[in-house]
Amino acid sequence: MNAAERDELCYLSATEVVALVRGRELSPVELLDAVLDRMREVEPTLHAFCTPTPDLARAQANRLADAVVRGEPVGPLAGVPMGIKDLLSTAGIRTTSGSWIYRDFIPDADDIVVERSLAAGAICLGKTNTSEFGYSATGQNRLFPTTRNPWNPALSPGGSSAGSAAAVAAGLGPVALGSDGGCSVRIPAALCGLVGFKPSMGRVPVYPGCRDERLPGVSGWESIEHIGPISRTVADAALMLSVLAGPDQRDRHSIPCQDIDWIAAAHRGRQEAVTGLRIGYSPDFGYLPVDPAVRRVVDRAVTNVLGNQLGCHIEQVDPGWPDPGAAYAALIVAETDLTGMRRLIAEHGKHLSPYLVGWMGADWTAQDFTDANIMRKTVVNAMARLMTRFDVLITPTSAVPAFPVDRLGPTEIDGRSVTNSTWIGFNYPANLTGQPAISIPAGRTADGLPVGLQIIGRHLDDATVLRLAAAFESVAPWSQVRPRVSSPELDGA
């Protein structure tokens, strides 16, 4: 098999892989061999995987291949190679959460989503890199090499599901598991030209992540954390949700999902299914600076694709809530084991990310936390009023395209000085409200960098989000546009 044939296998969608494996037209072992070969080629540049598991993957693929030959039924993810974010627990496999503190930690149980994915026949390629405890929207930590963007390895892939997005964009599995406490599925999807879906709060159960009181740093974000897929197509995101979604008694926030057929929602994404949808388009939320290149791409996508081609009714809106950035930060800290984290910082602070130490060491007060809860209610109520007028809310996903890999974010956007977190400001309102939100590719800048468009749905209306995303994809497809991963001389690589 030459490199071109190998790469065609590596870029099969998950939906295609399952059909070919079930039809005995593709061996899961053959596909895995292709993906592992490509990993050997691109991983020295990208650093998407912090703990690869090729031996485990081969054992899983061999067992599945034998089952297919024997004519046994196989699961809905049969043969799909998949990366698992290093914030998600994997029994018997090192799970560091991107932190030196947990550098040798091996969980005794799988996260629910890992358990369900593997039971459905997915093949575990390994753990994908993340920022420390998910506390930044990049792929930097002090334990592993920084993850790089396949479109340009000098740039960041976003985060904190950095390795998951870099892997999928580079052809190292058609899907990967990510988590999103404020942007961490959608931002890397946007910067890497992928689909990143944060389903409604409770659709996908979370455990032990966020809820294991024994693990300071890991046991946080409970009321804002979501787990979702990163993929190259909307259909693959829906396929993943058909496996991941559904209640579990270990997650008190998890909810029934009988109201939605995930796969049907994505496959009904034709023009006639979305014509007439009422779309509120907010290009800046009334307070966010946006890179002009991003604004041009998203404006064009909204007007030409959603409006002209799909026949949606577009109205530009200002949602009407104040910037909740400071409140969002306070909520994160309020849900953290602050006592445990400060103890660990006192013991190991020199090994931890400076921004994390700063967050944990700040002089937080009870009033900061109660003010943050009031701001959350302000956003939730304003969003509810807004969504009585619209079926979905559209925004850019990231306020900027990918930026240099050694930064936590831009310090200036469109001539305005900003904090490192301003650029993710379109994302965390949907975590505060728990609404479904997806990032899909809207196009690329003049220099070829991906730009994401975010679709936020009404409360629990995941189906409309998927349907509109699939309709957009059907008239402006992106899955065949692939980065050419190069290996330039990289400073400090």
Task: Identify residue 236 by its one-letter amino acid code.
Answer: D
> What digits encode the pLDDT tens for the residues 323-335?
999 999 999 999 9
The confidence band for 490, taking pLDDT boundaries of 50, 70 and 90, is: very low
- Interaxial angle between packed helices 338-348 and 354-361, expressed in degrees from 0 to 180 and rounded to the nearest 10: 130
User: Which token pair is 416?
Assistant: 């305005």
d(CA 337, CA 197): 28
The confidence band for 1, taking pLDDT boundaries of 50, 70 and 90, is: confident
Q: Which residues are bridge partners to 455 per DSSP?
A: 394, 438
CB 85 within 8 A of CB 225: no
Mean pLDDT confidence for 256-266: 95
- Report field, pTM of the whole predicted structure over 0.95: yes
Q: What is the pLDDT of residue 176?
A: 99
Could you say which DSSP state residue 197 is in?
E
Mean pLDDT confidence for 192-203: 98
Alpha helices in 287-411 (DSSP H): 292-300, 325-334, 338-348, 354-361, 366-387
Q: Among candidates 80, 68, 170, which has minimal Cα distance to 125?
A: 80
Q: 141 pLDDT exceeds 90? A: yes
Mean pLDDT confidence for 81-110: 98
Mean pLDDT confidence for 28-57: 98
Q: What is the pLDDT of residue 420?
A: 82
179 is catalytic: no
> What digits encode the pLDDT tens for the residues 443-455?
999 999 999 999 9
CB 143 within 8 A of CB 87: no
Q: 491 pLDDT exceeds 60? A: no
User: Which token pair is 217?
Assistant: 């740093």
Mean pLDDT confidence for 17-28: 98
Rg of the chain, C-alpha, whole Å: 21
Which residue of the set 27, 131, 160, 254 is catalytic?
160
CB 301 within 8 A of CB 396: no
Q: 488 pLDDT exceeds 60? A: no
Q: What is the pLDDT of residue 69?
A: 96
Q: 33 pLDDT exceeds 80? A: yes
Q: What is the pLDDT of residue 487?
A: 60
Q: 492 pLDDT exceeds 50? A: no
Q: Among candidates 407, 403, 393, which has minimal Cα distance to 450?
A: 403
- Kindly state the percentage of the chain with pLDDT values over 90: 95
Peptide bond into 223 cis (omega under 30): no
Q: Give the CA distances from residue 480 to residues 193, 232, 329, 345, 364, in Å, rounded to whole numbers and listed in that order.
A: 11, 9, 38, 46, 48
Q: What is the pLDDT of residue 272?
A: 74
Q: Among candidates 154, 149, 126, which has minimal Cα distance to 137?
A: 149
Type and span of the H or E element at 231? strand 226-231
d(CA 86, CA 278): 38
Q: What is the pLDDT of residue 212?
A: 92
184 is catalytic: yes
Q: What is the pLDDT of residue 375?
A: 98
Q: Give the CA distances from residue 190 to residues 196, 236, 412, 447, in Å, rounded to whole numbers and listed in that order.
A: 8, 16, 19, 15
Q: What is the pLDDT of residue 273?
A: 84
The owner of tokens 């290149």 is: 293
Task: Name 70's Cβ contacts closer than 8 Å, sequence gap at least 6.
Answer: none
d(CA 481, CA 266): 20
How many helices (H) and strands (E) are present in the chain, helices listed first?
Answer: 17, 13
- In order, the DSSP letters of 243-275 are HH-S--TT-TT----TT--HHHHHHT-SHHHHT
User: Which token pair is 423?
Assistant: 């650029």
> Which of helix, strand or coil describes residue 481?
coil
CB 433 within 8 A of CB 380: yes
d(CA 132, CA 490): 23
| Pairing of the two strands 437-444 and 195-198 | antiparallel
Task: Name 317's Cβ contacts closer than 8 Å, sequence gap at least 6.
Answer: 280, 281, 282, 386, 390, 393
- In order, the DSSP letters of 404-470 are BTT-SS-SEETTEE--TTGGGTTTTHHHHHT--EEEEEEEE-TTS-EEEEEEEESTT-HHHHHHHHH
d(CA 162, CA 128): 8
State the chain's mean pLDDT as an integer.
96
d(CA 101, CA 96): 8
> Which of helix, strand or coil describes residue 124?
strand
Which residue of the set 13, 184, 421, 479 is catalytic?
184
117 is catalytic: no
Which residue of the set 13, 27, 85, 97 is catalytic?
85
> What digits encode the pLDDT tens for the residues 384-413?
999 999 999 999 999 999 999 999 999 999
> What digits encode the pLDDT tens for the residues 268-325?
766 778 999 999 999 999 999 999 999 999 999 999 999 999 999 999 999 999 999 9
* 356 backbone dihedrals φ, ψ, rounded to 5°: -70, -45
* 438 backbone dihedrals φ, ψ, rounded to 5°: -130, 145
The confidence band for 485, taking pLDDT boundaries of 50, 70 and 90, is: confident
